[in-house]
Structure 1
Amino acid sequence: MTALANGTTYRVLYVEDDPQMAATFNRAFGETASITIVTSLEEALFCLDADPSIDLVVYNDRLNSASFLNRIKDKPNSGRFSTILLTGEGSIDLGAEPYHGRVTDVFHYGYSEAAFQTRLSYLILKKQYAEKKQVVESEGGEHKHTKVRMPIGKRIFDITLSFFLLLMISPILLVVAILVKLDSKGPIFYGSKRVGMGYKVFNMYKFRTMRTDADQMLASMASKNMYNVKKAEEPVDQICDECQLVGSCQRPLFLDDKQVCEKVYFRNEKAKAMFSKFKEDPRVTRLGKILRNTSIDELPQFYNILRGDMSFVGNRPLPPYEAEKLTASGYARRFAAPAGLTGLWQVTKRGGAAVSDQERIQLDVLYAKKYSFRTDLMIVIRTLKAVWQKENV
């Protein structure tokens, strides 16, 4: 069972009145976390009051989840545990009440245990990271917080330059805003959640360059991802070398009513790209191609810099689904550097250069270890030379 920094285990409260589903859940995740199973809303509320160490509530939507979420919102410890819903509904709007701010994720009945395990492992790693930031160092019993901070000189530079640039380019921003509105239906600006320095989540703003249905098109474009590993997936019915020696699969995993080798499945999952980027992206509008090739679409991010969400130079802030894949200690180091409008990766591997997600991570980690005013100045100069791209990427 996974141990946290303080030696305790990750506590899960599973609310389910179906004995078979409860037994399946306990079998699948009992070695990862300490699981307590209750069968009703009232039992769940009692357990949360009696045990403040619960880290995650997994709640079957069929057992009146709306009432549960409304009743926990005023509990003093409601902010310290996460909630995942299991549902048979087609979709749930997590931005609506009572789900907003209270539900971390939604899984549909018949979900992949491997997918749930990935989510559970991320939540455990996230808590471990938070605990390590507040670990007690031995001498004197004093608490030393290892919170990452942007250097004061870098912050002053960012505030001064971003304010000056926003003032100077305000006429350009106005003209582009009008053109975006005339070019295609949808909002002028596109704001999306990004994870930056110290895992801080913020809204990053750009001029909209894509169609309004771009997110729905993403799943059908996976084969065109530039970061895809150029290695064919192993057949799911193939067994690993160890199992072949025995003559049968020793680690069976059941997905979509089919038996697969667990080792082969996770080898395929590991080979999938961590990032998404496309050449000649069909989701981009006519005006969007021009804005992207000239980097004009990123001008609104001067506002993010002024706010302190980002810096002029740093590691590109990632969408949450990409950041969740980089929780291992070697990868997480990239989040020790400020989020940036441009950075070492952009000027080193921009345009037509072949790049893998591992190379991108390594460049991000290198910047986090070495960044300085001199490094930033060199990156800014190289960025200015690379602004006019030759390829639509």
Structure 2
Amino acid sequence: MADYEYIEPTGVVVPDTSGLLTDVQSEYQAVFGADLVVTPDTPQGVLITAETLARTEVVANNAALSNQINPNVAGGVFLDALMALTGMQRTVATPTVVSNVTLSGVSGTVIPAGSLAATSAGDQFQSVSTVTLNSGGTATVNFQSVATGPIPCAGSALTTIVSAVLGWETVTNNPSGTPASATTLGTVTQSDQAARALRQNTLAFQGVSLAEAITSALYNVQGVTSLTFQENVAATTQTINGISMVGHSIYACIEGGTDTAVAAALLENKSSGCAWNGGTSVSVVEPASGQSYTVLFDRPTQIGILIKVTTTNGNEANIIQAILDYAAGNINGLAGFVVGADVSPFEIAGAIMSEFPGYYISQVEISLVSPVSYTTSVIAIGVNAIAQTQASYISVIIA
């Protein structure tokens, strides 16, 4: 089939390798004769195998490249470009920040911004501003890691001076100082899986008032990981999904993000005159009018979940990690434990087998932390709650 086309109007065709091998063998026999021996142990058989592998790689490459225009499977810069079409971008990596680091040395010494210090592990941090040592020969300044990501820096770990600044003698991030040091771990660049979920959740980011536009704006708030949203269109107080809502109002229960940023997003995107519901109250000033509004929303109640897995051949540590990955939403195609999502033992089993296809999971049982009562049925989670688990909540039985 010498005229085979890999790309058709319906998409990329990915044939079986065995079919490609048959095609190449037929092509060789058409040229050199039908009696040509094409088994792999002959010289021509070796050439046929090489040609088949080359065509297989072309097909795989075409399929992979074609998928980059599909936002549900795209990755890397291709996904970044698709996100940019709706004004979105993935969360970038941030450095670890160590606040109130104490510097000491000769009084009057100027230590410029960007001066380097290192931990005993060799991780380097740089000062974020220029400081001058006071009459006592000390000063405090914030440092941030040179590399991005969660760079560890425990108390009293930042002790090695790297930059040669005359008069600078010691550096320490002793947490017992005044003011005390504190370390805020940085973050890594958002993964493709998380970025795809962010894009899906923010498709209506450029709109306002509609429910999808409001949730898109909330998901665009830094740190927001999941939420539930509902509205009461009636003029009277109604109870919807267990939540009492005043007339003509909205309700949002949000995991993550600062209270101020969440409230600002709600005020900017909800309909004018619409009322609020929730236990968290934040005062926000509308920039256009200067009027102050009290915005209400909820934070989810954490529901502890015990998980018991029975397997015949699984590794305990791997299964626990797979469940934690699932709960954190790190398994492609599975949302995990998000606000308002019920807990399904069947989905947990699927998550384990997604990461470890060779494991046989005979049973998954789940229970509330209190009262303890294991079941293979789904545990319902309210719209104002979120399931939560940890390694100590998970037990693995190999039987």
Range of TM-score over shorter length: under 0.3
Which structure dedicates a bigger proportion of its chain to strand?
A: 2
Q: What's the TM-score once normalised by structure 2's chain length?
A: 0.22
Q: Does 1 or 2 have the higher relative contact order (CA < 8 Å, sep 6+)?
A: 1
Q: What's the TM-score once normalised by structure 1's chain length?
A: 0.22
Which structure dedicates a bigger proportion of its chain to helix?
A: 1
